[in-house]
Amino acid sequence: MNTAQKLLVDVHTHVYLPRYAQLLRSRTTAPRILTRLSGPDNKPEERLVILDNEPSGGRPVGAQYWDRDEKLAFMDKHGIDISIVSSANPWLDFLPASTARSLANELNDDLESYCSTSPIIAETRRKRLYGFGLLPLVPEITTESLLDTVQQIAALPHLKGIIMGTRGVGKGLDDEALDPVWAAIEKAGLVVFLHPHYGVDSKQWGEKDNGHVLPLALGFPFETTIATTRLILSGVFDRFPALRMLLAHSGGALPQLSSRLASCIDHDPVVASRLKHDARYYLGRLYYDAVAYGSAELRFVSDVIARSDSYSSTAASADSHVAPKLGSAQMMWGTDHPFFPPLSNTEKWKSVVENLDAITGVKEWTQEEKDGVRGGNALSLFNL
Ligand code: 5CU
């Protein structure tokens, strides 16, 4: 592995670009940024309210959410060479179509200049910042607007993909209305980063006050699990075999549930007849961030990816002479910055260190595989 492939690359790191933060400040309902007076000297303090069940006073928000120097300082502190930055949830989901369209175009241009003017890593001539653009995925948007925005992103040299929530244009990502969008993204070679925001029905969380633990630890990954499963069942990955999709939080519960999913499909001939392969095959077509916080979980996901080719319905890839797939090659490290800041003034963020230690701790991975997950795989996937 050469020096470039030893770079530390963060594929899961967010921003509220200044233009978007300004929009949040102008709103009186969630998602919003409000100002309240706090502390003994009644100083104004900005607070973020984005989640459904967020206490009405929200949580502290500051420059680390929008200031590029803060992102670079965070990267320096943790030895991160390159970040592929994406807008944080809830993106444009709450806006009317015309506003969503113009704001998507403006935010994509803003992100391009955020990245293109970032410092260069001398030995490699790469920039330190790249980005995922945004589509105006809201009800009533025209397909033409979505396709124009895919073309805009594809033409911006530092944007390497598109971050996407799970709602599509109102009916989820398995909506056939999105087929032209998948086709355009596939053709442009952009990577879709699938990221949750809504979680699952909050009635499931009961009546005890468990803060944000249940929606974030379970609701977010379950949302990704459901959206990805619906994509598989809709045949999107059969119709668009070169579409590249990166799943947040290591694909949620899907790796653990994929054999059960395959069995349920087997017992439902109508659904089974829609798919070219066993469900487990499609898990090996996907990419996974390594934001799972534990070595056992990372190892498990890589094993599920590695076995996927044996579930292909085509003889060639099921052939026992073909070298087995290296599961770790489809996994890549991330931080979720600026979310999950440390609660005390520690030198490094616990959430960052934990996810790096998790990679180091996978005993079954070679050093080369670990270097791949830390950065080399992202350099390849995003063609950096
Ligand atoms: O803590 C949170 O609310 C979040 C969020 O909203 N989005 C995210 O990516 N991570 C954590």
Report the alpha-carbon distance of residue 135 to residue 273 in Å, rounded. 32
Could you tell me which of 97, 174, 105 has the C-alpha nearest to residue 133? 105
172 pLDDT above the threshold of 90 = yes
Pocket test residue of 12, 220, 246, 337 for ligand 1, highest count of atoms within 8 A of CB: 220
Could you tell me which of 165, 117, 109, 124 has the C-alpha nearest to residue 9? 124
Handedness of CA 138, 144, 146, 148 (dihedral sign): negative
- On whether the CB atoms of residues 160 and 132 are closer than 8 A, the answer is yes
Tokens 């060639």 belong to residue: 316
- Which domain range does residue 31 map to? 18-65
Digit-coded pLDDT (tens) for 273-310: 999 999 999 999 999 999 999 999 999 999 999 999 99
CA of 255 to the centre of ligand 1 (A): 22
Are 196 and 286 part of one and the same domain? yes
315 pLDDT above the threshold of 90 = no
- Helix, strand, or coil (residue 174): coil
Are 194 and 57 part of one and the same domain? no
Are 314 and 240 part of one and the same domain? yes
Residue type at 4 in one-letter notation: A
Query: In degrees, to the nearest 5, what angle opens at C-alpha 272 toward C-alphas 268 and 274?
Result: 130
Protein residue with least CA distance to atom 10, ligand 1: 339
Are 235 and 364 part of one and the same domain? yes
Provide residues with CB under 6 Å of ligand 1.
14, 50-51, 88-89, 216, 336, 339
Please provide the DSSP assignment of 248-277 as one string.
Answer: GGGGTTHHHHHHHHHHHHHT-HHHHTT-SS
Protein residue with least CA distance to atom 11, ligand 1: 339
CA of 326 to the centre of ligand 1 (A): 30
Ligand 1 atom closest to 54 (CA):
3
Are 54 and 187 part of one and the same domain? no
Report the alpha-carbon distance of residue 205 to residue 219 in Å, rounded. 9
Are 34 and 122 part of one and the same domain? no
CA of 337 to the centre of ligand 1 (A): 9
319 pLDDT above the threshold of 60 = no
Round the CA-based radius of gyration of the chain to a whole number and report it. 21
Q: Grade residue 50 by pLDDT with cuts at 50, 70 and 90.
A: very high
Are 164 and 45 part of one and the same domain? no
* ipTM above 0.85 for this complex: yes
Digit-coded pLDDT (tens) for 193-234: 999 999 999 999 999 999 889 999 999 999 999 999 999 999
pLDDT at 316: 58
**pTM of the entire predicted model:** 0.96
Are 156 and 289 part of one and the same domain? yes
CA of 215 to the centre of ligand 1 (A): 10
CA of 267 to the centre of ligand 1 (A): 37
- 94: domain CATH number? 3.20.20.140
- On whether the CB atoms of residues 139 and 97 are closer than 8 A, the answer is yes
317 pLDDT above the threshold of 60 = no
Number of domains in the chain: 2
- Helix, strand, or coil (residue 46): strand
CB atoms within 10 A of CB 168: 20
pLDDT at 40: 84
